[in-house]
A = this chain, B = another copy of it.
């Protein structure tokens, strides 16, 4: 044993696990991860991912935007920027939010590296281990993962075809508080929810806001899909009705392009300082280059028309998916009928395990996300999420047909077992 080893042996960690923080125990690969690796093969029709379809984005125009940006304002675009986000873009973000009834001050906007970073920062300022976050049942897998890393407890609240059920929310608050645990916020996606595709009607928004305000629980309103309503505009954002108790998350990932990684949080003034400090600690500042690309695009291009083109494209795909489900899925299956966004949520008979079914689906050249991914508690085993955003209509029809076949076969096999048993 060397002198050095002798010197330091006291208190030295014995193995790698001892060297990690306790929260690192929650950093384990999800089932989604290995699944996406397989689903990205070109021969598979992926109804799994949530990638926006950029075929409607005019690339020549985007190229002009970035070329001009560098030539005319390169010194600023390529330099460090403001930790809270570029002031010009924060003003434009307020104009975008005005489309959903929000009146906001640019000074209350924090620009983030996609709205995932906003979720992370909100978790960081609010969540101690064992704190409770209320979420819809089911809810966005990426949010659940972040809450989990902050060692919070996720409690799902019942939903129906109109989204979160207010009486169930009130009940959940009482039940959790009876156990002495702290509820830090409700996380909700009111428009074309991920994964369910459902829309929360205006009357429920008011009711939920009132419940949360009175209970002293912040509402985190995550709204990436609000401008992607196909048939009619979405109701006003919840933030439009309550500027003091709602933390609003927006994103350009679905209305412009996700590769720029520009999202934002609009927050009550009392939270802003801590969120900016947390963000600076996390990334120093968001990219001036991607922020000014968005800013220039918003200032110089017909972005509302562009969103309308995206809606056309997604509406066609939604229609094909719903028609195909009618045609190819068993009569005992049920699914949501989204008025916008990217997703359809399918509920099968409870004896079908959608995680166990995945390998068979892959063999049939189709992929989806099993329902359990969207629950923190193991529920959802007979549900699945289908996304229609990315594939062509032909591929969507092909994928739904293949998956319908796999499900029908599985049901027939189960029936066979039951008869034999």
Residues of B within 8 A of A211 (CB): 4, 8
A12 an interface residue at 8 Å Cβ cutoff? yes
A126 in contact with B19 (CB, 8 Å): yes
Q: Which of A24-32, A91-99, A373-381 contacts B (4 or more CB under 8 A)?
A: A24-32
A42 an interface residue at 8 Å Cβ cutoff? no
A54 in contact with B79 (CB, 8 Å): yes
Out of B22, B27, B114, name the residue touching A274 (CB < 8 Å): B27
A203 an interface residue at 8 Å Cβ cutoff? no
Return the chain B residue nearest A59 by Cβ: B74
A54 in contact with B75 (CB, 8 Å): yes
Nearest CB on B from A374, distance (A): 16
A residues neighboring B (CB under 8 Å): 2, 4-5, 7-8, 10-13, 16, 19-24, 27-29, 51-52, 54-55, 57, 59-60, 62-64, 66-68, 70-71, 74-81, 113-114, 116-117, 120, 124-128, 131, 142, 145-146, 149-150, 170, 173-174, 177-178, 180, 182-184, 210-211, 214-216, 218, 253, 257-261, 270, 273-274, 277-278, 280-290, 293
Nearest CB on B from A377, distance (A): 19
Return the chain B residue nearest A63 by Cβ: B70
Q: Which interface residue of A27, A145, A282 has the most chain B CB atoms within 10 A?
A: A282
Q: Which interface residue of A74, A180, A284, A287 has the most chain B CB atoms within 10 A?
A: A284
Nearest CB on B from A35, distance (A): 14
Residues of B within 8 A of A214 (CB): 2, 4-5, 7-8
Majority secondary structure, A binding face: helix
* Cα distance, A173 to B6, chains bound together (Å): 12
**What are 22 sample pairs from A and B whose C-beta atoms fall under 8 A apart?**
A4-B215, A7-B173, A10-B177, A10-B178, A11-B183, A12-B177, A16-B270, A19-B216, A20-B125, A20-B274, A21-B126, A21-B128, A24-B126, A27-B281, A28-B277, A63-B66, A63-B70, A78-B257, A78-B260, A142-B284, A257-B289, A287-B290
Out of B10, B260, B273, B278, name the residue touching A287 (CB < 8 Å): B260
Nearest CB on B from A265, distance (A): 14
Report the 10 A-B pairs with minimum CB-CB distance, sorted nearest first: A11-B177, A8-B215, A78-B257, A63-B70, A78-B259, A59-B74, A12-B216, A67-B67, A259-B288, A4-B214
B184 in contact with A19 (CB, 8 Å): yes
Out of B54, B60, B259, B289, name the residue touching A81 (CB < 8 Å): B259
* Cα distance, A393 to B282, chains bound together (Å): 33
* Cα distance, A257 to B5, chains bound together (Å): 43
Nearest CB on B from A150, distance (A): 8
* Cα distance, A170 to B170, chains bound together (Å): 57
* Cα distance, A273 to B30, chains bound together (Å): 11
* Cα distance, A283 to B66, chains bound together (Å): 23
Residues of B within 8 A of A150 (CB): 21
* Cα distance, A11 to B75, chains bound together (Å): 52
Q: Which interface residue of A5, A57, A283 has the most chain B CB atoms within 10 A?
A: A283
A8 in contact with B174 (CB, 8 Å): yes
